[in-house]
Amino acid sequence: MPLGEDWGDKEILWGRGFAFEELLGSSTRILSQESTMSALRHATRMGFAALLFAVPAASQAVVINEILYDNAGADDREFVELYNASKSPVDISAWELRLWDQRNATTYKRKYTIPANTKIAAGGFYVMGTSKVAGVNQVLGAGNLFENSQEGLVLYNPKGKRRVDSLCYETYRISATATWHKSIINGDGIWGAHMSSNTSPTSLSRVLDGYNSKSGQDWVLRPETPGKTNNLSSGAVLFDTFDKGTPEAVHKGWAGSFIPPVYIDPTKTSKHNPQVIPASPQGGKCLVIYDSYDNGGNAGVLLQRPQRDLVVECYVYIEASNATQTGDLEMWSIGVQGSTTTFFDYPDPERSFGYKRNGNTGVSATYVNSSKGSALYLIDHNDGGSDWTVLGKIVVSKGKNDGWQRLRLEVNGNSAGLWLGGKMGSGAGEVVGGRIARPTLGDIYAGSRESFKKLGANRPLTIDDLRVRPSVGAVGYYGSASATTVGVVDAFVATPPVLGSKGFGVTARRLAAKSPALLILGAGRSNLPIATMAKGTSLYTSPVFIIGARSDAKGEAHFPFPLPSNSSYANFLVNWQVFALDSKLSAPMPMAASQGIETRLSN
């Protein structure tokens, strides 16, 4: 019996003489979207707080905590900072800092040895560097202590004959045939290039003192703090209209790689505002991230404590008509859960320009404007490197979605979403989303880079009315999925569950190709084993609403479910589960099912 065919007074959702309603119970109803939400009005409201900090993964006693390996000019401010994350002093006498690079593939090329009778107090720091470094504990030389290009650093304990910690930087330079780094690199290492300006000194720091998930994503661009904590104390919520600042003055709440972010009056040309643009919908002054000295790359970092699940909203000015000549190019990013490096080399989302040096990590909204066209991308950079994933693309057209636009970037658990247009605090507007590989702590960052043949034609990254807050929506997974003949059913939400979002929905993978599938929307969790289906199948929610779909040739099914914009539904819990038919299964009812998904709706 085909999908959707009537059987008496019931709707048959798929055939083989089996009514899905009989399995789920006679109380199952096919409801309208508004009726479904009304049925959830009395659902339990979940009161869990958003996760702001994570416990440092694989915490160890002593780590390399901060590094400055290249500063402008004489390289005379270089240093490495060690940190003792344990609750007891650690004797580091005779430990070695070994330096590796690909010009010597059999052993390290040189080392610095820590003197006898040296201990790091619990929660303390030990700084090795030049004499110009504030608070230096061990002077290693006058300058040029480390390579300015790719290198590996290994903290080694010769007594225990063990590697204590290690990192590799500028790993984009490492030859594909090199092997020296394989035993000491963590993830993709620190991919991009860093250089500390003498007027805006920065370093590469662990996102929290001692935070060590053994990934390049642990490292962020921050103001240098040798011998002092990396931790930032400012709150998790921020509302900044930028109207209290003086045009052309540096914003003290941000750090910058070469030129820190600066206030501008958008209606007047100035050093940091190359052409007049209208005031934003909020009005008043704006913020630009821009290297006005040579129009090269520049990065900015919001000096706010790192977060994992969060919402970043702002107005951003999008120029879609200025790249008129062949070779004209500008790119900018606004990112979360990560960082970028000082030069902000071009991100190149679709790998169409041949750039590979960008140091973005985490998740970003990245804009590309060239003579070939303009688009805004949602990118999962994970821990950096060349293996980024484009989760979605919004084409930008002159007169349609350019000029001042609301931008919303939200990450919650493994779900990320990007909205363009619509009102602040809503899910309205164009939206793309997807699942990220590695949610973690990180900073809010921005970067821009441009190259225009006509002087002054560029539009620096310009934002207004910045709003940062924890993501109060939530996405959780529970129970165990069962398997089709293709593999274990994998279902996930397309974006964070924001009310008013037209792009919300559920995607399922590893289904039998071109076969029926069902999405169940339910209220509350349950756990009802179904012995007549594939081994390990359970019903994980009490059904309220059921949607049918058919998988494509790749075995994927998509269930769009636009969420209503009614803010009274905020904090409602909604549960989801996918069931999929696979005629090759030997079970009496040849179906398999996903885990349960629990979402908490938010504005």
Instruction: Give the pLDDT of residue 458.
Output: 82
Percent of the chain predicted with pLDDT > 90: 74
Position 45 pLDDT exceeds 70: no
pLDDT for residue 531 is more than 50: yes
Identify the pLDDT of residue 182.
86
Q: Find the angle CA(487)-CA(491)-CA(494) to the nearest 5 degrees.
A: 140
Residue 168 clears pLDDT 70, i.e. is over it: yes
pLDDT at 139 over 80: yes
Amino acid of residue 602: S
Q: What is the pLDDT of residues 180-235, one digit of tens each?
A: 888 888 888 999 999 999 989 999 999 999 999 888 899 999 999 999 999 998 88
The C-alpha angle 285, 286, 292, rounded to 5 degrees, equals 120
Report which of 274, 373, 395 is spatially closest to residue 326, judged by C-alpha positions. 373
Do the beta carbons of residue 192 and residue 340 sit within 8 Å? Answer: yes
Tens-place pLDDT, residues 278-303: 999 999 999 999 987 766 789 999 99
* Closest C-alpha to 369, from 295, 445, 451: 451
Q: What is the pLDDT of residue 4?
A: 31
Angstrom distance (rounded) from CA 302 to CA 281:
22
The DSSP bridge pattern shows strands 125-130 and 138-141 to be parallel
Q: Are 518 and 541 in contact (CB under 8 A)?
A: no
Q: Could you tell me the pLDDT band of residue 474, with boundaries at 50, 70 and 90?
A: confident
Q: What is the chain's mean pLDDT, rounded?
A: 87
pLDDT above 70 covers a percentage of the chain that reads 89
User: What is residue 60's predicted lDDT score, i.e. its pLDDT?
Assistant: 67
Q: What is the rounded end-to-end Cα distance, in angstroms, of the chain?
A: 41
Burial of 403 (0-12, 13-18, 19+ CB in 10 A): middle
Identify the pLDDT of residue 105. 62
- Cα 413 to Cα 400: distance, rounded to the nearest angstrom: 32
Interatomic CA distance for residues 127 and 135, integer angstroms? 7
Residue 171 CA, distance from chain mean position: 20
Q: For the CA atoms of 313, 319, 325, 327, what is the dihedral angle to 10 degrees? A: -10
- Structure token pair of residue 166: 């290690």
Distance, CA of 44 to CA of 50 (rounded, Å): 18
Torsion of CA 425, 602, 364, 334, to 10 degrees: 30
What pLDDT does residue 174 have?
87
Q: Kindly tell me if the per-residue pLDDT of 155 is higher than 80.
A: yes
Please give the residue that has the higher pLDDT: either 34 or 572.
572
Domains of the chain: 6-50+477-600 (2.60.40), 76-223 (2.60.40.1260), 238-470 (2.60.120.560)
